[in-house]
Each structure stands twice: as C-alpha cells, then as structure tokens.
Amino acid sequence: MSKSIRKESEEVLLQQGFNYEETVARVEEIVAEIESGELELGEVFDEFAIAVEALLKCQNFLAQKKQKVNLLIETLEEEAESF
C-alpha cells in the first residue's frame, strides 16, 4: 500500500464533517485490502488500527443518534399523555 492511500485513510477520519456512510465504506475498503493478502504485515497492522479508530467513531456517532431518538420518543410520549 502506498503512503498516499494510508494518508487518505487518515484524512477520512480527520475530516471535520464526519460522514457515517463514507467512514463505513472506508472500513470496508480496508477490510478488502487486508483480505486480499497483498499488504505487508506492518501495513496490515496500520490499516487495522485505522479501521478500529473509524469503527469507534461510528459507534460514538450511533450512540449519540440513539440518545437523540430516545429523547424525541420520550418527548412525544409525554406530549401524548398530556392530551
């Protein structure tokens, strides 16, 4: 893997406008690269670390969205009870 591809992986994670779908797509690309068997061992570990970081960001993103949804549901239930 070239340094430019590794740099691209890191840039996706550092972008200010986090995009869940783009991040998941990048993780899928990393998995495909690892599964191809064409990477050197050091590159496998580097890419794996990038994928783990991306997945943690996705997990945090989903947890935040779940919390917002739960709050909205709670608000709707409270409003329905007041009628």
How far is it, in rounded angstroms, from Cα 71 to Cα 76?
A: 9
What is the tens place of the pLDDT at every residue in 7-35? 565 555 555 688 999 999 999 999 999 99
CA within 13 Å, CB half, 51: 16
Domain 3-82 CATH class label = mainly alpha
pLDDT in tens, 36-82: 999 999 999 999 999 999 999 999 999 999 999 999 999 998 888 88
CA distances from 51 to 7, 29, 63, 75, 79 (A): 13, 9, 18, 36, 42
Map out the domains of the chain as residue ranges: 3-82
Q: Which two tokens stand for residue 31?
A: 């998995």
- What is the Cα Rg of the chain in Å? 18
